Amino acid sequence: MSAGRAIGAALRGLALALALLLVTFPFFWILLTSLKPPELVARADVWLFAPSVANWRDVLFGSSVPRYIGNSVLVGLATVAITLAVGCPAAYAFSRFRVGGGAGRFAILAAEMMPPAVLIVPFFLLMYRLALIDTVWAVVAAHLTFITPVVVWFLIGFIDEVPRELEQQAMVDGYTQFQAFYKVILPVIRPGLAASAIFAFVLSWNDMFYALILTGGAAKTLPVAIAGYWTFRGIEMGKMAVAILISIVPVLIASFFVQKHLVKGLGGGAVKF
């Protein structure tokens, strides 16, 4: 009995260790690569070396990567601001007024099913005509197309959880329905708003496709810059590794804070908070 249990526990531990290794090894390898001296970067078989900060110094102080990080942050923040500003009222309408009937709330996710390739050519032409090619605003506009629906979907779940009596109480207490919405509903779903904001930021931060096609110079975002290390002279693996690490860290931190709420949001309000 106890021996069987011990073996079970050992097997479980082994499986978990294996899974942990599979997940963390790439990160470890990238970290290692970023610290390799330039002449060893191409040598995947070398594991022991004197660490060098040359790649880090080159990327942070000798390249435009800091500027691209700034672009990514700007795109992310603008996307979050706009997506919440339009997403909250939209989610409220879907939740309370049953806009589009029961199917309406699912229909908004249809935008997610569409391959980005469908949108990109019209987008490119539109931005070209508007003279917005290679600006962060073109990227923000593109990001809104796939981020807003998910955020609305999230928020519907959170608003569904708020009893209607709360806003009805506010209406009886002397407020309009819109006032009830922003004075009562929005503060109550604050955890949901925070989770949605972080999630939206991460989606924007990680996108490469739209940014790659709509920018090319000054307005590049970090993922595009990472891809830029794949040059005609070969892959600048060391610097790329540095840029990759810089792009991963915010996502890791954000995921840590929102993972609990993400599950709730994806559950469409099936879980109480």
Binding segment (CB under 8 A) for another protein, from list 67-75, 104-112, 184-192, 237-245: 184-192
159 belongs to the binding site for another protein (CB under 8 A): no
SS3 at position 180: helix
H/E stretch holding 235 reads strand 234-235
- 86-89-94 Cα angle (round to 5): 115
Least distance CB 103 / another protein (angstroms): 18
Q: CB–CB of 165/142 below 8 Å? A: no
- Alpha-carbon distance of 85 to 72, in angstroms, equals 20
- In terms of CB distance, is 153 or 158 closer to another protein? 158
**Spacing of C-alpha 196 from chain mean position:** 10
- In terms of CB distance, is 58 or 161 closer to another protein? 161
Least distance CB 185 / another protein (angstroms): 10
Q: CB–CB of 123/210 below 8 Å? A: yes
Least distance CB 166 / another protein (angstroms): 5
Q: Which of the residues 161 through 180 are near another protein (CB under 8 A)? A: 163, 165-166, 168-176
- In terms of CB distance, is 86 or 99 closer to another protein? 99
Q: Which of 188, 219, 225, 258 binds another protein (CB under 8 A)?
A: 188
Least distance CB 189 / another protein (angstroms): 10
- Alpha-carbon distance of 152 to 196, in angstroms, equals 9
H/E stretch holding 234 reads strand 234-235
Site string for another protein, 106-145 (x = CB under 8 A): ----------------------------------------
Number of chain positions touching another protein (CB under 8 A) = 16
Least distance CB 95 / another protein (angstroms): 17
- Alpha-carbon distance of 239 to 159, in angstroms, equals 45
- Alpha-carbon distance of 128 to 135, in angstroms, equals 11
Residues at the site binding another protein, with contacts judged by CB under 8 A: 163, 165-166, 168-176, 184, 187-188, 190
